[in-house]
Chain A
Amino acid sequence: MQKNEENLRRKSRQILFLIIIVLILIAVPTYFWIRNSNKYRAIQEKSRMSPVIMVPGSSATKERFNELISLLNKDTDKKHSVLKMEVYNSGKISYNGTIARNDNEPFIIISFENNKDGFSNIKKQASMLNDAFGKLTDQYYFNNFKAFGHSNGGLIWTYWLEHYYANYSDSIKIKSLMTLGTPYNFAETSIKNPTQMFTELSKNRDKIPKSLNVFSIAGTENYDSDGLVPEESVQAGKYIFQKRVNHYTTMTVTGDEAQHSSLPQNKQIVKMIEEYLLDNRVPGNPNNKRASNLDNNNN
Chain B
Amino acid sequence: MLRRLIRGMIKLNKCSFFRVVRQTLSMLFPFALLGSFSQMIYRAFLSQNGLFYNIAYLGDWVPDWLMRDLQAAFIGVSRITFNLFGILVVYAAAKYTARIYHRDSQLAGATGIIVLLLIAFRYDHAAFDHAIGFNWRLLSTQSMLIALIVGYAIGQVYRWLGVERNFQKTRQIISVRDRSFYAMKPLVTSIILAIIFTYILNFGLLSKVLRGVYSQMVTVGQNNQGIWLTIAGTALITLFDWLGLGSVANSGAVLSGGPFASNLSYALQHGSAWNIPHPFFGGSLYNSFANFGGNGLILALTVAIIITSRTKGQHQIARWTLVPTLFNSEYAAMVGFPIIMNPLYLLPIQLLPIMNIIIAAGAIALHIIPPTPYPVLMGTPGPLISFVASNGNWWVLVFTLALFVLDVWCFIPFVKIIDHFDQELSLDSSEVDYYAKK
Contacts and interface: CB of A to CB of B under 8 A. Distances in A.
Interface string A17-48: 00100010011011101110110011001100
Contacts, number: 72
A12 B311 CA distance: 12
Interface residues of A, number: 26
A23 B381 CA distance: 8
Contact of B383 (A12, A23, A42, A170): A23
Contacts of B51: 26, 30
A35 B393 CA distance: 10
Nearest to B265: A45
A30 B256 contact: no
Contacts of A5: 310
A38 B384 CA distance: 16
Given A23-B381, A41-B268, A45-B265, A34 B374 contact: yes
Given A26-B51, A34-B392, A45 B384 contact: no
A19 B326 contact: yes
B384 A27 contact: yes
A16 interface: yes
B388 interface: yes
A243 interface: no
A27 B387 contact: yes
B interface, how many residues as a size bin?
20 to 34
Interface in B297-325: 303, 306-307, 310, 312, 315, 318-319, 322-323
A interface, over-half SS: helix
A26 B269 contact: no
Interface in A149-201: 167, 170
Contacts of B198: none
Contacts of B381: 23, 26
A46 B265 CA distance: 9
A12 B310 contact: no
A113 B177 CA distance: 69
Nearest to B257: A170
B318 A12 contact: yes
Contacts of B387: 27, 30-31
A31 B392 contact: yes
Contact of A38 (B256, B268, B269): B268
A32 B56 CA distance: 12
Nearest to B310: A5
A15 B306 contact: yes
Given A12-B306, A19-B322, A45-B269, A30 B315 contact: no
Given A34-B374, A45-B265, A16 B322 contact: yes
29 contacts: A9-B306, A9-B310, A9-B315, A13-B306, A16-B306, A16-B307, A19-B326, A23-B381, A23-B383, A23-B384, A26-B51, A26-B381, A26-B384, A27-B387, A29-B56, A30-B51, A30-B388, A34-B392, A37-B54, A41-B268, A42-B268, A42-B271, A45-B265, A45-B268, A45-B269, A46-B268, A170-B256, A170-B261, A170-B375
7 smallest beta-carbon distances between A and B, as pairs: A45-B268, A42-B268, A12-B306, A33-B55, A29-B55, A31-B392, A12-B315
Given A12-B318, A12-B319, A16-B303, 20 more contacts: A8-B312, A8-B315, A9-B315, A11-B315, A12-B315, A13-B307, A15-B322, A19-B326, A23-B381, A23-B384, A29-B55, A30-B51, A30-B387, A30-B388, A31-B387, A33-B55, A37-B54, A42-B271, A46-B269, A170-B256
